[in-house]
Amino acid sequence: MVDVTAKDATHRVARAEAFVKMAPATLKLLRANALPKGNPLETARIAGIQAAKKTSDLIPLCHPLPLTHVDVSIALARGGVRLESTASTKAETGVEMEALAAAAIAALTLYDMCKAVEKGITIEKVRLLEKTGGKSGRWVRK
């Protein structure tokens, strides 16, 4: 792991996203909450939050962080579902990996919940949108 002992703890926030592309028929079932495994949207949201909390267990050499806030928002969109995660902490290192893990695992969970009706679902654009805090300050995807 990188030694962050000498770094100051600062307030840090990161936002990430993922897009789950699916057929219109699957999206229609999702809108109606008519899939066989239960409520995919809420299950995906909770899975994303749990993933952020377990990021250091999932990614080797990733620092465990005291997260102060994690959320995953989900929006049905044309052609699929957009998932956006936010993670916050006051620590010596950033929360980009936690935000990315939340978005990715939420997307994987949505795939798992919908695969019974469509195998061709695609997970796209798992990416960092913004990060603030620390020595490097603010970064925003253009």
Please count the other Cβ atoms lying within 10 Å of the Cβ belonging to residue 11.
12
- Asked about 8 being catalytic, the answer comes back as no
- Cα-based distances in Å from 10 to 65, 70, 135: 12, 17, 9
Q: Going by DSSP bridges, is the β-strand pair 139-140/122-132 parallel, antiparallel, or unpaired?
A: antiparallel
Q: Going by DSSP bridges, is the β-strand pair 122-132/67-77 parallel, antiparallel, or unpaired?
A: unpaired
Note the maximum CA span of the chain: 54
Catalytic residue among 8, 57, 71, 112: 112
SS3 68: strand
- The set of catalytic residues is 112
